[in-house]
Structures are given as C-alpha cells and as structure tokens.
Amino acid sequence: MNRLWHTGLAGWVIVVGLFGCATSALPPSEATMTILRSYQNQLDARVASGHVTRAQARELLYAKLSEIQPPLPDLENLLEFRKQVAAEVEAKALTPAQAEARLAARESEVIARWEEMADRYAREQRGFEQLKKEQERGFKQEQMPMNRPHRL
C-alpha cells in the first residue's frame, strides 16, 4: 500500500508538471538568464564607454532576446510595447528621454520576472529530482529480502 501511495504521488507530480508545461510557455533556465544578464551588462558598459549608443545597444539586446530558444515568455508583449513607445515618440506624445525611461523600466521589470521564473523553475526541478531519488531509494529498500541479514 505504501509503495502504491509513493507511486501515486510521483505520478501526480509528473502529471501536474507536464500539464503545467503544456499549458504555458517554458520558463527560461537559470543559465539563460545569467548569460542574458551578462550580455546586458556588457552592452551597458559599451554604452558608458561610448562605443555604441543606447539605441544601438537596445537593438543588440532585442536581437539577442529573439535568438533565445525556447522563446522567452511574453517576449511578444515586450516587443509590442516597444513598438507602441516608438509610435508615441513619432506622434510627439513622448520625448525620446521619456521613451527611454519607459522602455528601460519595462525591460528591467520583464527581465526581473524572467529571472524569478527561472529561479522558481530550477527549484521545482531540484524538488522533482529529490522526490525521484527518494522514490528510487524506497523502491530499492522494498526490493531487499526481509529475512536475510544485510551485508556491507
């Protein structure tokens, strides 16, 4: 009965994990977010040193964001927001400085959310891995003969 319960629990965990993955975009990995943050820092340094303009750096960042596979969740929304801000600048509803501030704030917010998603996903994966190890350990213990003394 105990074995059936553990199998059932593991089964439910797997089904819930698969269902969650099937219904929403995969979160970015921690490694992806580390690389992305490093790239963003490099671009900031290049802007600070005068090697590229803020607009050029933003183009490079968005090109990198578009290359990431699987696609980042809500990247389309960020791209649409960027288009809307550009349209507002064209219509003179925003100054370039206001547009820069709005874009920087939204980008920072979205990247922070992606980092949180990556962290949460990594923790869940470690939890699943731990559960799997515990289940395997319990299964091995159940398979050991009961009447024989254990030899090390």
**In this predicted model, what pLDDT tens digit does every residue of 48-71 receive, in sequence order?**
999 999 999 999 999 999 999 999
Residues 104, 84, 71, 21, CA torsion sign: positive
* Bigger pLDDT: 99 vs 7: 99
Nearest to 142 by CA among 1, 3, 19: 3
Specify whether the CB–CB gap between 111 and 40 falls below 8 A. Answer: yes
pLDDT at residue 39 greater than cutoff 60: yes
pTM score above 0.85: no
Specify whether the CB–CB gap between 78 and 106 falls below 8 A. Answer: yes
To 5 degrees, how large is the angle CA 36–CA 39–CA 44? 125
Left, alpha or beta for 50 (phi > 0: left; psi -120 to 50: alpha)?
Answer: left
What is the C-alpha to C-alpha distance for residues 20 and 25, in angstroms, rounded to an integer? 9
Whole-number pLDDT of residue 75: 95
